[in-house]
Structure 1
């Protein structure tokens, strides 16, 4: 199969030409239909929607191909020079081809010969393929996306209650620099990341195809559950970032909302449900724009949706019941919009209200990493330390691999959060100098920290069982 390059950003080069052509066509049709009641704003809105729909019709088959038999190459640019997009994409294509073998979710940030890459590109993200590595001559297609992240501060949703400010949550405009590389740092045994991306793409594709939702139901809600520290929240933020990058031809704007559950439970009676309604009212207002895609994260949702049956049996205050009912009501209302995705996480799925579980299209368990996944996490940590010149790099690769496998076996059962903290904690226990630290020193320190961590976990488990 011939190699193909699909450059999403280059589509912008032709938008202005199509815009002028579409304006003439639309105005002609409007005059013929004698729609004299339309204002100028109405006409502009129709024009923009028409152009975006035309753009989406062309983008969806390309995205479908990238999801099915290719992979995404995402280029984080310092600036996006419109007159150089095609040339820049060609250099990215050639540079990736030169790598020979690609590691899963590889991040490239060193460019030698390619002058445009050095000038305009921060990082190149290569993925996602589920195998640990793939040869570049086995790549059938390459979907290249050029983008620039935003760096503005998140908007805080604050309400004034009895003279006191309460922050209900935050809103980010995506893609945002704070969410960069989150997706690539996550390692799972099952193809969770591709499953989530395929789900979001399917939801959007069904909407563009005008699928009747009374025939095929879609709630646009995902529930991730599992023990703390296994990457549920990070996965949600990484997914939001990737959706905003890969689906950029389908929407003009992407917003990410994170609900602060703790702030909802007001000390003033009945204010909790009102606070929740305020938060969702703002989301609903934005969703009326069909060219804006909204992603909501409700972290540790069990604090909001504790079973109504449990609340009644334990004499919980009625305010809790109002919050649960309000949450369910707003989730039901959001189903009328096709440009929204609700992400929820929980450490205690057994206490979540069954009505919320039933409303989730996907319910996925995120557990502690396996030995193989732990090895890849440690490997990524060591590569980072070597690239930043903190540990000695001239270490035999096979010997390094064996050492990392042994550490991974000793680390079985620990959360991903603990695994990623371990190199830093171990490094802090080494007598540091201006010279490189030898990997053997770090291996020894990590081994000692693993023993300490497991002893601590055993003590806490015994304490909790008492």
Structure 2
């Protein structure tokens, strides 16, 4: 079980393979939240919706007036930090909610493991979906726990029924219908806030999107945020390995320009690739130079421009020699 993931003795253990639970008093997601560089207004909005939903629930404000479902959708390309944002927002909510005033014993984060809900056995998938949501619903019915629920890569669970072909089993449609019913059931409970993520919002069923109270787009970082990511990486390398990476403003701007269109994850992996390219920097990461970083980012830029995003994700272009192997041959094997 992942660090911080717990299972309460009082919870029904059915669906344990489908729901991962974290007591937010036992984890520290502050640093990861701070290291996702997006518009601060979007970060605050994600927290505000959770606080507002809790306030309206505590006041017994009727659901119909504002058509609330207590759910927000984060959409955007892979690698932009959507899952980390969801966890961080839950962590920040746990800090801000007055548990004593609300009679809450704990604030928990529950992640429904969507990939485990699908079965090749006829009729099983809708049952598994219902079982997973039932575990969350039972937690909400007890009333002393505030739950932030993550539905990651929600297009798998709430697939666009209009795009399902004739070859798709009826189980897939029934699973979406069941999941929508379960989401409606969650919205009727107090102390539950749902955050969903999607890399492919066009593949998400419109009935689910319409139920979300807000859709926040988390795109690839702009120049300001790419610079912040680079500064974050350089500071971490310096702290851990005492690297002497001190790019000039011009060099830093070059790295920012070269990484246009990269996700935050791809930027970090490009630095990892620079470290891995030569045996000398593998043996001693403190020897990584600004010139090596620039060459690696130029290489990734060329790959993206010439071959498209598929190859920037793979990290290799067609018919490209294995330059890392060539470098190792020149430098000698790693000892």
More deviation, 264-273/167-176: 167-176
Residue in structure 1 matched with residue 77 of structure 2 by the alignment: 227
Q: 1:422 aligns with which of 261, 270, 277?
A: 270
3-state SS, counterpart of residue 214 of structure 1: helix
Q: 1:454 aligns with which of 301, 312, 318?
A: 301
Distance in structure 1 (CA, Å) of the matches to 2:264 and 2:53: 30
Deviation at 1:209, TM superposition (A): 3.1
Residue in structure 2 matched with residue 181 of structure 1 by the alignment: 31
3-state SS, counterpart of residue 369 of structure 1: coil
Task: Classify 1:460/1:233 alpha carbon distance in 2 versus 1 (closer, same or farther; 3 Å).
Answer: farther
1:406 aligns with 2:254: yes
| Per-residue deviation, residues 385-426 of structure 1 (Å, max 9, x unmatched) | 222243137x5xxx6444322211111110111112222322
Residue in structure 2 matched with residue 306 of structure 1 by the alignment: 159
Task: Classify 1:402/1:227 alpha carbon distance in 2 versus 1 (closer, same or farther; 3 Å).
Answer: same
Distance in structure 1 (CA, Å) of the matches to 2:124 and 2:6: 24
1:388 aligns with 2:240: yes
Residue in structure 2 matched with residue 373 of structure 1 by the alignment: 225
- Equivalent residues of 1:175, 1:245 under 8 A apart: no
Residue segments in structure 2 that go unaligned for 5+ positions in a row: 312-335
More deviation, 407-416/450-459: 450-459
- Equivalent residues of 2:151, 2:197 under 8 A apart: yes
Distance in structure 2 (CA, Å) of the matches to 1:436 and 1:420: 15
- Equivalent residues of 1:176, 1:241 under 8 A apart: no
| Per-residue deviation, residues 296-326 of structure 1 (Å, max 9, x unmatched) | 1111111121122222x43310000111001
- Calculate the aligned-residue CA RMSD, in Å: 2.8
Residue segments in structure 1 that go unaligned for 5+ positions in a row: 1-149, 161-165
3-state SS, counterpart of residue 210 of structure 1: coil
Deviation at 1:274, TM superposition (A): 0.5
Distance in structure 2 (CA, Å) of the matches to 1:158 and 1:167: 9
Residue in structure 1 matched with residue 197 of structure 2 by the alignment: 345
Distance in structure 1 (CA, Å) of the matches to 2:301 and 2:283: 32
- Equivalent residues of 1:197, 1:239 under 8 A apart: yes
Residue in structure 1 matched with residue 63 of structure 2 by the alignment: 213
Distance in structure 1 (CA, Å) of the matches to 2:178 and 2:289: 51
1:437 aligns with 2:289: no
- Equivalent residues of 1:189, 1:370 under 8 A apart: no
Q: 1:289 aligns with which of 139, 142, 146?
A: 142
More strand by share: 1
Q: Which one has a bigger Cα radius of gyration?
A: 1
Distance in structure 1 (CA, Å) of the matches to 2:282 and 2:148: 46
Greater relative contact order structure (CA < 8 Å, 6+ sep): 2
Number of residue pairs matched?
A: 303
Task: Classify 1:336/1:159 alpha carbon distance in 2 versus 1 (closer, same or farther; 3 Å).
Answer: closer
TM-score w.r.t. the length of structure 1 is 0.60
TM-score w.r.t. the length of structure 2 is 0.81
Task: Classify 1:356/1:182 alpha carbon distance in 2 versus 1 (closer, same or farther; 3 Å).
Answer: same
Distance in structure 2 (CA, Å) of the matches to 1:209 and 1:189: 31
Task: Classify 1:280/1:186 alpha carbon distance in 2 versus 1 (closer, same or farther; 3 Å).
Answer: same
Residue in structure 2 matched with residue 277 of structure 1 by the alignment: 130
Deviation at 1:353, TM superposition (A): 0.9
Deviation at 1:463, TM superposition (A): 7.5
1:259 aligns with 2:112: yes
More deviation, 443-452/277-286: 443-452
- Equivalent residues of 1:226, 1:367 under 8 A apart: yes
- Equivalent residues of 2:69, 2:187 under 8 A apart: yes
- Equivalent residues of 2:5, 2:20 under 8 A apart: no
